[in-house]
Structures are given as structure tokens and as C-alpha cells.
Structure 1
Amino acid sequence: MIEAARITAFEKALRTAFTQFKAEEEVIRAKHAAAVQSGSLRVPLDDDALLERPTRRFLIDPMLRALDWNPDDPNQLQEEARSWAENGDRLYFDYLGVSRQRAPTLLVEAKGADSVSARPPREDNISAPRMSELLSEALVKLKTGDKPGVLAQWVAWLKDLRTYVASFSEADRSTLKRVVITAGRWLIIFRNPLTAFINDSCPDSTEIHCYVSPAEILERHREIYSLLDRRRLIDTLPLTMTLGEALQVLKPEAVTQAYRGMVVATRMTGGRRSEFPHRVVYPALVLLSGGRAFAVVDYNPNPAFEPREASQLRAFIAELTAKADHFQERVLNALNRIDLRMAPASDFPINIREPELGGAFAPELGSTVALAPTAPNRPQLVRQTGERNAQYEFLVITGQSWFYKEAPLTGPECAFHNFPIAKKRGVAGVQGRFEYVADSFTTSDDPQNCEHADLLGVRRSRCQMLQIESHLCCRACIFHGVCWDAAELGRLPCGK
């Protein structure tokens, strides 16, 4: 869907939400009155509480969904998210929008539909520009300890918002793009949360966007969309996409490098008592653009299945290469970038990594991580695709090759492909690899298999393929020159 269509859909969703709420309002108020009459609702303390839930259901949830923040997906939007105030009190956010890396991005505080919008005491409704100025002045006075010139209820709400933002760590504050408070029929967006709630400086009133009525929300829906749409606040593009999807979002002239790769998907099949894995391989072209990697994948209906017999590996690689070469030509022609040359895997930038990996701080001296051998900083060439419910689905960036296993092997002859021999030599693990599993597609005596337990321990901190191939022989893997420096190859047991 193009941007103009998304904006139109957003306006339609808002209009539908207001209409549906109006249709249900009489029933909601009847239930509210009955609760007051029966004594189950205290007045005025709980007068607004009963209306918050239907407000969220009929007004706020539809707005957020139309902005691509799905309340039913906790990976996008978390309801009643928890935090802690500086004094130790537990806090609950009505909605917390997060990025793919779980970083806070959007904080939404919901109020009941009858809640009054921001205004000075003893004044009726005010215009949106006046409301922005009033909130800016009120926040300055809160920071200096003076009395804000807004309704007492709004003083409490602004204090709450300050507490919420302050409860985030410094790193999380840096990713928080917007803070919103809304009762559905009015909406206030703080475009710069740190300036508004944390920094000592005076918030710029032009960065506090107020919409005082349903009519104004509808009239200025484009502005609201541009401020809150999920695609405009965070990178929502997936790691993997089809060629058609890639042509919609990637600018051909912005592609700086290209690598061959594949998506490797492993699934269990068979009967409940005799399950076994099968592995599907989809060719991919990995493109660097805007400091990110994108994999254009050939998700064709007749994919290549990796053979379970090692003797068939060479024929499989030849067939896969023929299909993949054709796909590469198709992608480059579609992008009009036949000038791109496939770079070796060793050239893949180290700084383009999954954000979940690594950390902002070094481990403390004496900790387990600090004491462990430090693995050299290498490019990350294997990563999960991020597809839902796809634990064993990985993108493998292979550079100038089309598959990560080699046939025949490189290097000297080795006896440690075989578990009985490795056991006889005293270097085998407790149990050999005699059947295929989801994270190992080699078995004892396969030329690509390794049963040397000592080596498996050494390679654990450096192996690119560990999540897919726990027992893959390093000499059978195209990454052995990436994982092992030339001076370190002597540590491999091959030929010893």
C-alpha cells in the first residue's frame, strides 16, 4: 500500500471509530449509570474509570491499528507495560510501542472519553494553539516547582507523564520518539519527550501538537499520521523480502554492495514417534542500503531440499547454483544494477549486526564474560529471519558462493568425522551425531561431520553456523577462512 492510500485508510478508520463509538455511547452510559445507582461505582472518584475501557476499545485501539501499531501484537505495542518509578513504585503504561529491538518508541496514556482536555481553571474549551502554549508553560512550572496554570487534574496527569518518561533508562529515553495522551475525542502529541518532560529547558509549544475535538482530529489527520505512523518512527522493514516487495521499498541507486546468500528453513516432519527434519534452501541476494542489510529471497513454490545423504551434496549444490544464478540475474535486471558484483563474505561490514547482539557496556572485570576467551570481532553472516514462529529459519550470507557447505572438502584427510574413531582417540563427546536434528544436518561418518569434542568447544565462540550446524566440519564450511585466521588453522585437528 502506497503512502497516500495509507493516509486515506487512516482517515477512514478514524471516521469509522467515531461513528461506532457514538452508536454504542448510549449503552455505555446506561451501564455506567446502573453501576453508580447500584453502588458498585464510587462518584466522583471512579466516574471516569468505567469509560476508559470502552474508549480504548472504540476510539484509541482503532486509531493505533490504523497507524500500524497493533495492540494485539506485543512485539509492536504492549498494553499495561510495567516500569518502576525512582521511589520504587510500580508503574503501568497504557500502551508502549516498541521497535523490533524492543526499544521504547511510543508511549500512549489513555483517558476516558469524558475526560476534559487541557485548560486553565474556570475556563471552557480553548483552541489548539492556546492549549500548546498552556502545556508548555505548565511543564516549565512543574520543573521549577511553581504551580502550573492548568486544571488540578491536568497537573496530576503531567506529573504522571514526567514520572513515566523518567522511569526509562538513559538508553531507552534516547529511543522514545513520541508521548501521547488522549481521550479519543481529543489528542495531544509531545513530539520531543525529553525536551518536554526531562530537560530543564522550556518545551517548544510548536512541538506540542493538540487536537481538541473529533472534527479537528479528522481535519488534521494527515498531520497526526505523519507524527505517529509506525513506519515513520521506526525501521519496520523486514530482513527478508520477495523481489516485488524489495522493488517497492529499496532505491536501486542507494544499494552499495551485494552478496549471495540463502534462507535455510528447517522443519520437523513425519509421525509423532518418528519425526525427522527436512531442510529447505531458498537462494537470496543480500543488498546493503542505508546502513542495513536486506535479503531479496527467491521464495518459489519449488524450493531446493538439502539432501540427507552426503553423497548427493555435490549434485545438490550444482542444481542450486543454476537456479540461484538465474535469480541473481533477475534481481539485478529488475533493479537496473547489473553493475553490482558479488563481494566475498569476508567483506561484509562488521557494524551491520542484529541489534539484539552486543551491548552498550563492557562486561565488568571478573565476570564470566570478561574471563572467557575473547573471540575476534567478525562479520555476522548468519541471522534469524525474524519471521513469526520460525525458530529454525536463518539467512546465511555466503558472499560469492551459493551454499555454505563444500564438496569436496578442503585441507588434509581427517579421521574425526567418525564418532567411533574419535571415541577411540579419546576426543569424542558423550554421544555421537547419528541422526539429523533441527540444528545439525550431518551425521557420524559424513565427510562434512565433526566429532572432535575439543574442537567443538573451541569453535563455539567463533562459529558462524552454530545455530544451524552444531557438528559441521570447519574444513567443509566456506566460512573457515572467516572464523579462523591463517595463523590459527594449526589448531584444527585435521590430519593429526
Structure 2
Amino acid sequence: MTGLTLRNTFKLALDDLLEAVEREIARPLREPFAELDPTRRPHEHDTRLLFVDELLGHLGWKLGVGGNVLEEARLQAKTTRFMDYVGVVNITGKPLLLVEAKAWDKPAITPRGGGEYGSEANLLAAAIQHIYEGKAKDMSPVIGEWDDYLRQVCGYVRTLKERYGHDLPRAAIISGEWMVVFSKPVETFLKAARSDDISVFTRPQFKDKAKEIFQLLHRSALTEDPPIPIRPAQLRQYLSVGDVAGVFQGLHVHFERTGSSLFVRRPRILIYPALFVVRKDEIIFTVIDGDTPIELDYRKDDDGNETLVPHLERIQAQSGALIETCESELSGSLSIDDLSAFPGFCNEGLEKSLIGELELADEWLVATGRATHFLLAEPRTSECQFHTWAKCGTRAAMQSAISARTTAPRVFFVDSQRHHCAHQVVQDRREGRCLIHPIDSRTCCQACLFLDHCWTDEEKAALPCSR
């Protein structure tokens, strides 16, 4: 949709929402098992269900499974706190919008002692400056509840900045009766509060101020979600060479179960070479040229030995061709960056990963940096006996060797193959740390690109294959 269409759609939806809210508030029997109280207003949970959830949906945000809003997002600082809503960029998880919901009957912005500040925005700016200067709560220009609200948002903005490195673009505190939006929360809470960066709306104003609310809070105003993937020829629609902050090689990986349901299903792994182009605003563009996958598998060399080299060479060749095509489309050279500089995909909360989960199960984006695959042709440790179950002795995993590929557990490389690990101690230690565990739970760590990302030097030295 165009911006004009989106704005008109939001205005109509907001009108309908406000009418529905009016009907709900007027309904006397909202709680049929409680005593009748026609003056009661919804508490915070009801406010979220009745108004905030719906408002965010109309503003282009998607709640729930597969959505782009984290609800009760955990924030680790000196204590663990939970943010009501955090709207994020798809795939990368960069925070875009923080929303704190308050109960319907919470007081509007109120000065302490009836002070005069000219406007509510001026009052809030003075109260935030009061907090910034480290002054006591009981001396704040606003009443205690509002001092608490502002300190809460300030703490979230500070933690996102200092712990996670995110400059939050927008923050809001919303009740059904009022809404406060901070258009520059980092500037407002961590530097100098300006009333021009604070917008205050009351429920009677929501309808007439729909355009302003849209411009402040609609997802389209805060980010651009490119399709995944894009073709090389589409790059120019989103950026120029001068907009590029980083370029990383990578893969799109698809895991599938093959074979009849009457028999044991076997895994098949399909690989699509990809290029992750990071724009200066940290948006990651996934570029894939063509829809023909390369199947992961061994081939026999001239001596009849299994080798992964032909597969890796095909990936490398197509990755190189992809880079050249993208350079041609952008009319400039692209320098491939080290994996350590990759900003990361977001799979859960605000933590980052080199593996990005896509919406459908068994599909991932894998960043590899200057490498072209997450697998090596040979393990780093030569002559390791632990690829073979029988040679692991009492440390052998499971009750017997895995001689055929399985989907449960996920084992692609099987017993005695050089990319297979049969050691139980290694398997136990990999739990919760192995990046490619969802793809293949028994890949030899020494044959994986991510060895140094999953293990510290001390932990690597303690692995059985390192002795």
C-alpha cells in the first residue's frame, strides 16, 4: 500500500476502534460475577486487550506467534524487568518502538502542587530533566505515579542503549484515556528533554489527531521491511553502494523430511547461497539469485573416498557469482566483511545470533562472513577417533551407532563419517550452545565454522578431540 492508503486505512480503523471502546465502556455488565459498578474502568490487562493490542495492530504491528512485537520482553540490567511491548525489525530484531501500557483509570499528566508549565509537554520535559539531574522523586514537578512512569521508560531506554547498543527510535506510554509519545527517546531521556519531542493526546483527540499518531507510531514510519529474499536486480530499490555498512556471505538452509510416511523419514538439506547486505540503518537485505538449491551431500573422489569438497566448491562458485552480480547491479565493489562484524539475527528477545529462524519451521538464514559455508571440508583435528561410535567406549552417545540419517534425532552425517560426532560428553556440552543443532545435532564441532563462536578457548581445550 502507499503511505496515503495506509494512513486512510488507519484512520478508518481507529474510528471503528474508538466506537467499540465507547460501547464496551458503556456496557454495565463487563464482569457478570462482580458487583455492579458502572463507574469502573478497565485495569491494565483489560486496557491492553481492549485498546492497546488493537491499536498496535492498526498501526501495522503484528502481535503473537511470528509477529514483529515482543510482549513482556525481558530486559537484563541490575534486575530483570519486562517491557510491555517492543516492536522490532523483522529478522534482525532491532527495537523500534517501546510501548508501556497503563490501566484505563490511571491519572492524566498532573503537576505536583498545581504548578504552571504552559503545556503537558513542557511539564513532562521538566520532570524528565529532574530525573536526569538525579533529584528526588518527592520533589518532581509531576505527581509520584508519573515520576515512576518516566523513570521506568528512562531505565528501558538507557539499558537498550548501554547494554544492547540500540538507539530506540520511539517510545510511548498509553492508557485508554491518554497517550504520550516520545519521538526522540534517547535524546529526551539520556541527554536533554525538549517539549517539542513529546506529543500528548487524550481520547477525545485521538480521532482528530489520527494523522499525527500514524506518523509517530505506524510501523511504516519507523522501518522498512524488505522482502526475504530479494533478487540482485532489486538492490537498487533499497540502497546504493554508499548506503552499505557491511556485506557478509551466507546461506539459506532448508531441512526436509523425505520418504514415505509408512517408513522412517530421512533428512535432506538444501542450500541456497545468499549475500547479507547491511544498510547503515542496520536493516539486513537477504540477496539470493535463483531458486535452484544445492543439496548437501558427500561425493566419491577418485580413490572412492567420501568428500564434501564438490559441494563446497559449488557453493563457493555460486557465492562468488552472486557477489559479482550484486556489484554489477550497484555499479560498485563490495568488500566482504569478517563474521565478527555481523550485526546478528534476532530469534528470541533482544539477543543476537549468526543463525536466523524464518517464519516457517526448518528454514534458516546462516551468516558465514568471509567463508561460504558453515561446514569445513575436513575437521580441524586430524585422525580423531570419536567420529566412530565403537571407538568412543563408555563415552559413546546413545545405545548404538547411528548408521542411517534420521530426523529424530536430527542426524545428517552418520557413524564413521568425518563430519559426525559420536561422543556423548561433547553432545551434552553442546546443548544450548551449538548454533547449527536444529540442522544437524551430531555435526563434529571441529568441522564447523562456528567452533570459536560456540566455545571459549578453555572449553575448546577441554573437548575430548583436543587432547
**TM tier, smaller:** 0.5 to 0.7
Matched, 1:14 2:11: yes
Matched, 1:228 2:220: no
The CA distance in 2 between the partners of 1:474 and 1:147, in whole Å, is 56
Check whether the contact 1:417–1:447 (CA below 8 A) recurs between aligned residues.
Answer: no
Matched, 1:210 2:200: yes
Q: Do the aligned partners of residues 116 and 14 (structure 1) sit closer, same or farther apart at CA in structure 2, a change above 3 Å counting?
A: farther
Deviations 1:257-301 (A, max 9, x none): 545432222233442761221101011123354385946342744
Match of 2:138 among 113, 137, 145: 145
Q: Do the aligned partners of residues 225 and 443 (structure 1) sit closer, same or farther apart at CA in structure 2, a change above 3 Å counting?
A: same
Check whether the contact 1:79–1:95 (CA below 8 A) recurs between aligned residues.
Answer: yes
SS at match of 2:334: coil
Equivalent residue number for residue 265 of structure 1: 254
The CA RMSD measured in Å over matched residues stands at 5.7
Amino acid at match of 1:158: W
The CA distance in 2 between the partners of 1:462 and 1:92, in whole Å, is 24
Higher Cα Rg: structure 1 or 2?
1
SS at match of 1:250: coil
Equivalent residue number for residue 383 of structure 1: 354
The CA distance in 1 between the partners of 2:247 and 2:240, in whole Å, is 14
Check whether the contact 1:70–1:76 (CA below 8 A) recurs between aligned residues.
Answer: yes
SS at match of 2:37: coil
Matched, 1:333 2:304: no
User: What TM-score comes out, normalization by structure 2 length?
Assistant: 0.66
Q: Do the aligned partners of residues 238 and 440 (structure 1) sit closer, same or farther apart at CA in structure 2, a change above 3 Å counting?
A: farther
Deviations 1:120-177 (A, max 9, x none): 79x9xx9x9723234445675995625858xxxxx46514514644775962575666
Identity of aligned residues (%): 19
Matched, 1:241 2:229: yes
Check whether the contact 1:427–1:454 (CA below 8 A) recurs between aligned residues.
Answer: yes
Match of 1:72 among 64, 70, 73: 64
The CA distance in 2 between the partners of 1:267 and 1:465, in whole Å, is 15
Match of 1:350 among 298, 321, 340: 340
Equivalent residue number for residue 364 of structure 1: none
Matched, 1:275 2:260: no
Equivalent residue number for residue 403 of structure 2: 434
SS at match of 2:412: coil
Amino acid at match of 2:18: F
SS at match of 1:442: coil
| 1:460-475 map, 5 Å | 468-469=439-440, 471-472=442-443
Matched, 1:286 2:276: yes
Deviations 1:360-417 (A, max 9, x none): 9xxxxxxxxxxxxxxxxxxx9x8222313546624141636467343xx599984748
Amino acid at match of 1:446: Q
Match of 1:305 among 295, 303, 310: 295
Match of 1:41 among 24, 29, 36: 36
User: What TM-score comes out, normalization by structure 1 length?
Assistant: 0.63
The CA distance in 1 between the partners of 2:346 and 2:44, in whole Å, is 39
The CA distance in 1 between the partners of 2:422 and 2:382, in whole Å, is 14
Check whether the contact 1:261–1:283 (CA below 8 A) recurs between aligned residues.
Answer: yes
Deviations 1:418-442 (A, max 9, x none): 6267358x98656534232465421
SS at match of 2:268: strand
Amino acid at match of 1:340: L
Equivalent residue number for residue 393 of structure 1: 364
The CA distance in 1 between the partners of 2:177 and 2:107, in whole Å, is 10
1:348 CA displacement: 0.6
The CA distance in 2 between the partners of 1:60 and 1:461, in whole Å, is 35
Q: Do the aligned partners of residues 38 and 237 (structure 1) sit closer, same or farther apart at CA in structure 2, a change above 3 Å counting?
A: closer
Check whether the contact 1:286–1:293 (CA below 8 A) recurs between aligned residues.
Answer: no
Q: Which runs of 5+ in 1 are unaligned?
A: 150-154, 361-379
Equivalent residue number for residue 363 of structure 1: none
1:39 CA displacement: 7.3
Check whether the contact 2:249–2:369 (CA below 8 A) recurs between aligned residues.
Answer: yes
1:479 CA displacement: 7.9
Deviations 1:34-89 (A, max 9, x none): 56999733354x2x228994x756754443224343333586435577999x9x9x
Amino acid at match of 2:254: A
The CA distance in 1 between the partners of 2:36 and 2:344, in whole Å, is 50
1:97 CA displacement: 4.5
1:462 CA displacement: 10
1:336 CA displacement: 2.4
Choose between structure 1 and 2 for higher RCO, CA contacts under 8 A separated by at least 6 residues: 2
Amino acid at match of 1:255: V
Check whether the contact 2:170–2:181 (CA below 8 A) recurs between aligned residues.
Answer: yes
Aligned residues: 437
The CA distance in 2 between the partners of 1:109 and 1:158, in whole Å, is 13
Check whether the contact 2:368–2:374 (CA below 8 A) recurs between aligned residues.
Answer: no
SS at match of 1:277: strand
Q: Do the aligned partners of residues 167 and 83 (structure 1) sit closer, same or farther apart at CA in structure 2, a change above 3 Å counting?
A: farther
The CA distance in 2 between the partners of 1:349 and 1:70, in whole Å, is 31
Deviations 1:283-323 (A, max 9, x none): 11233543859463427443222237665855545655565
The CA distance in 2 between the partners of 1:474 and 1:95, in whole Å, is 37
Check whether the contact 2:73–2:82 (CA below 8 A) recurs between aligned residues.
Answer: yes
Matched, 1:190 2:182: yes
Match of 1:251 among 235, 240, 244: 240
Equivalent residue number for residue 303 of structure 2: none
The CA distance in 2 between the partners of 1:82 and 1:462, in whole Å, is 20
The CA distance in 1 between the partners of 2:70 and 2:456, in whole Å, is 43
1:104 CA displacement: 9.4
Amino acid at match of 1:432: A
Q: Do the aligned partners of residues 351 and 390 (structure 1) sit closer, same or farther apart at CA in structure 2, a change above 3 Å counting?
A: same
Deviations 1:331-356 (A, max 9, x none): 3322223x336x5xxx6152435387
Amino acid at match of 2:9: K
Amino acid at match of 1:40: E
